[in-house]
Amino acid sequence: MAALYTGKEVDTAVISKLYPTRSHTGAAQGGIGAALGNLEEDHWEWHAFDTVKGGDYLSDQDVVEVMCKDAIDIVYELEHMGLPFDRTSEGRISQRRFGGHTNNKTKKAVMRTCNAADRTGHMILQTLYQQCIKNNVNFFDEFQVVDLIFEEGECRGVVAYEILTGELHVFHAKGVMIATGGWGRVWSVTSNALTLTGDLNAILLRNGYPMEDMEFFQFHPTGLHKLGILITEAVRGEGGVLINSEGERFMNRYAPTVKDLASRDVVSRAIYLELQAGKGINGERYVHLDITPETVNHYFKEDDARAVDGKLRSITAEYVQEKLEDISDFCETYLGIEPTKDPIPVHPTAHYAMGGIPTDVDSRVFSDENNTILSGLYSAGECACISVHGANRLGSNSLLDLVVFGKRGGHVMVQEVKEKEFGKIDAQKAIDKVQAEFDAILNSKGQNSPNEIREEMQILMTDKVSVFRTKEGMQESVAKLRKLKERFKSIKVSDTSKCFNLELLEAWEVGCMLDLALVTAKSALARQESRGAHAREDYTERDDANWLKHTIAFLNSDGSITLKYKPVTVTKYKPQKRVY
């Protein structure tokens, strides 16, 4: 979205380590939230309140208001670009229920999430890519950015590794936007693609710039058993229910009003507690997600769930198949089950980074806890922290965040770069710095396997820094991560060739993830409260008196971490206890 807006007016390059339409956005299933009110009453103010409540009051409320207000126009803008949304019978954009999105008066789930079957992200990505091509944006596909160039406190470009040739290139720029997505690969069970390794977040940390609220990492309640592959919340939005080994719809106990459509942190904790209580199916560590029409229609009756026309709702196997086609495919491919006939085995999976690069409402990057603007640098999307999602993101608010703040950032970049000359850079120095880092890996005589280090980090983070956390677990993680970082200094890669040396790049990514894991564990250890996705067994309550603030974490050159804090912006929604 940012490239589209800059591409219309200034020379723009998109650099991606993937073929761009293979970005993780293409995997987003459920949809994009906007209070269009196409099927029932809705208002952007309700959307804003739900976002703040879902974020457990850590969201900056001024930026939430901007996002939820802009949401409506931006969905229509995407529609006018050609995005094929599902339709209502009157031909308007169709909307479905999603976790934490409510009618603020009745407190019941509201239909707010616009979708194109269960391939909404794919459609957004394809639509924007086509628009970029039309507007002469230059794409550098399969170029991996491995450093940023800073001179005189300003970002003036990037160094990228051409994956095909192993050549290093300098891109000299008047403005750089980072939109590199999340880093779910820090955990062993994740919904995230292999490439989500947080490279640019680590590069910024290494250059002395901070990350915000890294302790808040979302676990999505419904990943496929063992694999972690995402089963969209839209399954519950369409009526699917979670069932334990006793055949009980246990969300009745944890969230009596919205039940299975409580926010993700609440549902993930509920599943975890059911598993701890021995109520996993067949004694194993998963529960059932049931979207079989028989079960769904039974609970629709029990809930007295009415459709827009006032009639009692009911669904058919054909309806499920049409609305959740990809999900049905995943279940058949990976587990050999048909979701219209059998329940789906699920457990929480590492999913989304609420924290990241601190930015303002126009995607400019902050360099410290005092909100000092870092000239020349912008960031939007999952890698950034504006912060709209606070301590826990609502489903369908990420796709929204990308397009709203991508567009705003694009606008501001155009204005700012037009008034600028190219700043001086030393291209050779920038290349030599990266070359030295890569040579150190390639020529290392060490014996440690980067794959083993990655796996140990992932298991550690999944065991100790996940749905529930304790002081001891996080202390152990920090200590072990430091040891892993030591071991990483003497790794061995066997492939030393230039062409498509993915072994080298993957090893380099392990180094990035170790830094992010350490900052996450350290930030989490310091926060002595439970809020949103950060749930501690030793500090079980939210503590607004001491912790209604954002963490700003710096990685020092000696490997130590400095934590600072900045206030949360509260406008009209005063922090209250969350009840779903």
Q: Minimal CA–CA distance to 360: which of 71, 66, 150, 6?
A: 66
Is residue 30 within the footprint of ligand FAD (CB under 6 A)? yes
N-term to C-term CA, the chain: 34
Report the alpha-carbon distance of residue 474 to residue 525 in Å, rounded.
6
Residue 351 or residue 536: which is nearer to ligand FAD going by CB?
Answer: 351
Burial class (CB in 10 A: 0-12, 13-18, 19+), 472: exposed
Task: Write the interaction track for ligand FAD spanning residues 130-169; mark x where CB under 6 A is met and - where it is not.
Answer: --------------xx------------------------
Stated as kind and residue range, the H or E segment containing 350 is strand 344-353
Residue 127 or residue 396: which is nearer to ligand FAD going by CB?
Answer: 396
Is residue 12 within the footprint of ligand FAD (CB under 6 A)? no
Task: Write the interaction track for ligand FAD spanning residues 333-352; mark x where CB under 6 A is met and - where it is not.
Answer: -------------------x
Residue 300 or residue 352: which is nearer to ligand FAD going by CB?
Answer: 352
Residue 374 or residue 403: which is nearer to ligand FAD going by CB?
Answer: 403
Residue 410: phi and psi, rounded to 5, are -60, -45
Alpha helix stretches (DSSP H) within 158-247: 199-206, 234-237
Q: Which of 5, 7, 24, 222 binds ligand FAD (CB under 6 A)?
A: 24
Is residue 127 within the footprint of ligand FAD (CB under 6 A)? no
Catalytic machinery residues? 264
Residue 38 or residue 396: which is nearer to ligand FAD going by CB?
Answer: 396
Residue 145 or residue 514: which is nearer to ligand FAD going by CB?
Answer: 145
- Note whether 517 and 207 are within 8 A (CB): no
What is the smallest separation between the CB atom of 179 and ligand FAD, expressed in angstroms? Answer: 5
Is residue 501 within the footprint of ligand FAD (CB under 6 A)? no
Is residue 398 within the footprint of ligand FAD (CB under 6 A)? yes
Q: Which of 3, 4, 6, 23 binds ligand FAD (CB under 6 A)?
A: 23
What is the smallest separation between the CB atom of 528 and ligand FAD, expressed in angstroms? Answer: 28
Report the alpha-carbon distance of residue 304 to residue 149 in Å, rounded.
59
Is residue 523 within the footprint of ligand FAD (CB under 6 A)? no
What is the smallest separation between the CB atom of 246 and ligand FAD, expressed in angstroms? Answer: 30
Report the alpha-carbon distance of residue 20 to residue 17 in Å, rounded.
8
Q: Which residues contact 510 (CB under 8 A, 6 or more apart)?
A: 450, 453, 454, 457, 488, 491
Report the alpha-carbon distance of residue 184 to residue 195 in Å, rounded.
9
What's the gap between Cα 227 and its chain centre? 18
Alpha helix stretches (DSSP H) within 427-543: 427-442, 450-464, 471-488, 502-526
Cα-Cα-Cα-Cα dihedral sign, residues 44, 52, 270, 525: positive
Give the bridge partners for 16, in sequence order: 141
Total residues in contact with ligand FAD, by rule CB under 6 A: 38
Residue 9 or residue 162: which is nearer to ligand FAD going by CB?
Answer: 162
Q: Which of 2, 3, 4, 15 binds ligand FAD (CB under 6 A)?
A: 15
Q: Interacting stretch for ligand FAD, rule CB under 6 A, among 194-202, 285-293, 468-476, 491-499?
A: 194-202
Q: Which of 6, 12, 25, 94 binds ligand FAD (CB under 6 A)?
A: 25
Residue 223 or residue 293: which is nearer to ligand FAD going by CB?
Answer: 223
Per-residue DSSP letter, 186: G
Q: Which of 16, 102, 392, 466 binds ligand FAD (CB under 6 A)?
A: 16
Q: Which of 10, 13, 18, 431 binds ligand FAD (CB under 6 A)?
A: 18
Residue 303 or residue 506: which is nearer to ligand FAD going by CB?
Answer: 506
Residue 267: phi and psi, rounded to 5, are -70, -40
Stated as kind and residue range, the H or E segment containing 351 is strand 344-353
Report the alpha-carbon distance of residue 368 to residue 212 in Å, rounded.
10
Q: Which of 6, 51, 59, 192 binds ligand FAD (CB under 6 A)?
A: 192
Q: Minimal CA–CA distance to 234: which of 87, 340, 96?
A: 96
Task: Write the interaction track for ligand FAD spanning residues 204-233; mark x where CB under 6 A is met and - where it is not.
Answer: --------------------------x-x-
Q: Output the DSSP codes for 13-68.
A: EEEESS-GGGSGGGG--S-EE----SSS---HHHHHHHHHHHTTT-S-HHHHHHHH
Q: Interacting stretch for ligand FAD, rule CB under 6 A, among 23-31, 325-333, 453-461, 536-544?
A: 23-31
Contacting residues toward ligand FAD, per CB under 6 A: 15-18, 20, 23-25, 27-32, 120-121, 144-145, 179-182, 191-192, 195, 199-200, 230, 232, 352, 381-383, 396-399, 402
